[in-house]
Amino acid sequence: MKCLSIWLLLQLMVFAALGQHNLKGTVTGSGEPLPGASVVIEKTFYGSSAHSDGSFEFRNIKKGKYVLKASFVGYETKEVPVVIPSAGEINIDLEPATVMTGEVLVEATRARDKTPVAYTNISGDEISSRNMGQDIPYLLQLSPSFVATSDAGAGVGYTNFRIRGTDLNRINVTVNGVPLNDAESHGTWFVDQPDLASSLENIQIQRGVGTSTNGAAAFGATINLQTNTLRKDAYAEYKTAAGSFNTFKNTVLAGTGLLDGKFTLDARLSHVDSDGFIDRAFSNLKSFYVSGGYYSGNTVVKVNVFSGLERTYQAWNGVPSVRLNNDLEGMQRYGEHWLYSPKETQEMINSDSRTYNLYTYENQVDNYQQDHYQLHFSHKFNQALNLNASGHYTRGKGYYENYRADEDLEDYRIPDVIVGNDTIGSSDVVDRKWLDNHFYGLTFSLNYNKNKSDFTFGGGWSTYDGDHFGNVIWGQYLGETDYNHEWYNGNGLKKDLNVYAKYSYQVAEKLNLFADLQYRRIDYRIEGIDDDLRDISQEHKFNFFNPKLGVFYEPADNQDLYISFARANREPNRTAYVDIDPSQKTPVSETMNDWEAGYGFHSATFTGSVNFYYMNYKNQLVQTGELNNVGSPIMVNVDDSYRAGIELQAGVLIARNLKWQVNATFSQNKIKDFSEYIDNWDTGEHDIIELGTTDIAFSPNVVANSQLVFEPAKNLNVALISSYVGKQYIDNSSSDERSLDAYFVNNLKIDYSFKPGLFDEMGLHLMVNNLFNEMYESNAWVYSYSLGGERFKMDGYFPQAGRHFMVGVDFKF
């Protein structure tokens, strides 16, 4: 199948090349060539960047009328109508922008046209068209090698994704170049910033190591988000949507436009509510975004303040496979093996097989607020040189609340309670586990682009200071213990410094060399006790050197080739450190060497690309089944593992009103010499099983996405969106008994916009998710143990909703 797909793609490329006419021209700025300027032919797949002399050429264009669009950072975008065949070469002279618009804020960390990495750009219009209330992972799921999942089953609340099988804890995420990943856990929770998508200008996804950036290590991908740039005209918008599971989304946006030629103010207010597909898995999400800007010729100063408040019912436990499969004997075993209480076991038996939720306590919620403050400064010294500097502060505070039955009081540092003649050592309790953190720092970049050279020097410094503590807020028997009794308290203090230099040089007309060198230093100190009362105090320091090298070559103006090598180093996160036993080996940092090679082709009606990757890991941290002395799973370094694959992308303009875009990834993801550990309940020891080479968990060998868009009338679009995800193993044993079945899901989206007179524009939207009612699960976890010489498991699968819908309407004033 893999060979057939490559053959078909190459045949389409050859077929598409049978055009008739060429278009040549140059892009200049105030008469001077603009190497690297973007040139595209609207409503086709043609796109290129100008050579060192500003020239460009498009081949094999059909006869007709087109619009040529040229743009370059620091200049006004220009559109020029052209007729093919053209009478001669076209010169497009761009005028310097009267004010900088803000794109330079992310220039340093973005891949550009001739950067030899695999990347995808998603425009603001694309983001807006997909934004029907679901979280950001579901807006990105048409990207290559991308798999999204939702705890509550419908894309609202806690969501997650993987790229090339790499989980979100290993993916670097920035907003305007400022790190969004939690510094300790490395995780990113988009639920903390509900509807941030409504304030985004664009997104770039770099796959593999990518280019140097700020914050957590990019150990499989980078997500670079940019919030709204300058809008010169005043505007106001109201967007509302409603749908299945009592899902409601309301968003208000407004902006002043450019006042007095210098000042702007933009604001957004959002509220998203949903009951969720899973029982009781509601989400109540609120957020706002405010941005003030000062624009004075070559200088921009922006202040961004955005905040999110989420309250979600916990659906983290999933649905046991015995419940999904209606296995009565297996469900009863949960009670017999003390995995569930008799009450919990009976509730599971009586529940719906796909929407079951273990938690029934009314306030079993996650409650968290995160506030972001960003100050950005940009100055353009001349057309070739600009400077960006940003200060940032993030404040996060919240808890998740748990009801626990028959807990030992000593586990909460509560003395036994005397009631009459009875000594009580256990009680039902309600506790809250808190995270209270501060994250602040600086980022900067100096960018120089002239003639054949493109140079960036940048970096960042940050400090994370986070308190982890727990309180008991209720207990059936607490004796003299105070309300809000604190039973553990710890702190994480992490300092991160990085500097990088990137240089791209055009050594020949169609040949570019790229080098990117980064140094990163980390100082991490953990103090205090954890929730299991262990002293987890420790300190770690790291010095990382991350080189990246590549070559980009254009055999023709509509073709490109590249090859690159990149190295990334990643420190263990907090969980890897605090869950390890003192008697076990302390985790060490991971290293990944990433080799990439790609080829791309584009014409007026077709675009296609092939990307090969080989990501080889040294000391990758994985779960082997080992537990620490209090029963928590631990991460262990494995010596040798890899991910290797082929990413195919194609776009076909079948007719003027019919466009098809598709991508597919075929991969192998392996751990060499893997040893699985099984908890033996009879002996209290581990059974070790030598499995040799196994598949890495949650790494499907096939991932494919498709979008077929039909425009039957002006401003009316009908899209069929399809995703296929192959079989995944939920641990590293490659066992079919512990796996997720492959699934194929289709969504239907209909959009219509018009100008009714009362408003500048009105849009109507319908989204039918899971059109054919596929029954599938997109994520899971598992714990294996042996008892009486037989192997058993405790697990949780995350079923996704069947057919469900959202309808929406937008008003622009």
Give one DSSP letter per residue of 7-69, joined into a string.
HHHHHHHHHHT---EEEEEEEEETTEE-TT-EEEETTSS-EEE--TTSEEEEEEEPSEEEEEE
DSSP 3-state of 165: coil
Residue carrying the six token digits 């702007």: 264
In a domain, 183, yes or no: no
In a domain, 772, yes or no: yes
DSSP strand pairing (485-508 vs 453-475): antiparallel
- Alpha-carbon distance of 276 to 290, in angstroms, equals 29
DSSP strand pairing (118-123 vs 64-71): unpaired
In a domain, 604, yes or no: yes
Q: Is the dihedral of CA 571, 574, 577, 579 positive or negative?
A: negative
Is-cis flag, bond preceding 572, omega within 30?
A: no
Last-in-domain residue among 46, 71, 97: 97
List the CATH number of the domain containing 466. 2.40.170.20
In a domain, 213, yes or no: no
In a domain, 701, yes or no: yes
User: Which pLDDT does position 14 carry in this prediction?
Assistant: 46
Residue 654 carries which DSSP code?
E
DSSP 3-state of 180: coil
Q: Which of 467, 470, 490 is nearest to 413 (CA)?
A: 470
| Residue 685 neighbours by CB distance under 10 Å | 11
Averaged pLDDT in 10-residue chunks for the chain of 813 residues: 51 48 85 84 82 82 85 83 81 79 78 94 92 93 96 96 96 97 96 96 96 93 95 95 97 96 96 98 98 92 97 96 97 94 96 97 97 96 92 98 96 93 94 98 95 94 98 94 94 98 94 98 97 95 98 92 98 93 87 98 92 97 75 83 98 94 98 94 92 96 98 96 98 96 98 91 97 98 94 96 97 95
Cα 794 from chain centre: 29
Q: Which domain holds residue 472?
A: 235-319+354-812
In a domain, 153, yes or no: no
Structural contact between residues 147 and 703, judged by C-beta atoms closer than 8 angstroms: yes
- Alpha-carbon distance of 577 to 591, in angstroms, equals 17
Same domain, yes or no: 93 and 241: no
Structural contact between residues 557 and 573, judged by C-beta atoms closer than 8 angstroms: no
In a domain, 184, yes or no: no
User: Which pLDDT does position 9 carry in this prediction?
Assistant: 52
List the CATH number of the domain containing 83. 2.60.40.1120
Cα dist. 461→211, 214, 389 in Å? 18, 9, 12
Biggest CA-to-CA distance, the chain:
104
User: Which pLDDT does position 17 carry in this prediction?
Assistant: 45
Domain count for the chain, please give it: 2
| Residue 684 neighbours by CB distance under 10 Å | 7
Is-cis flag, bond preceding 582, omega within 30?
A: no
In a domain, 167, yes or no: no
DSSP strand pairing (365-380 vs 299-313): antiparallel
* C-alpha distance across the termini of the chain, in Å: 51
Last-in-domain residue among 97, 127, 158: 97
Last-in-domain residue among 97, 112, 131: 97
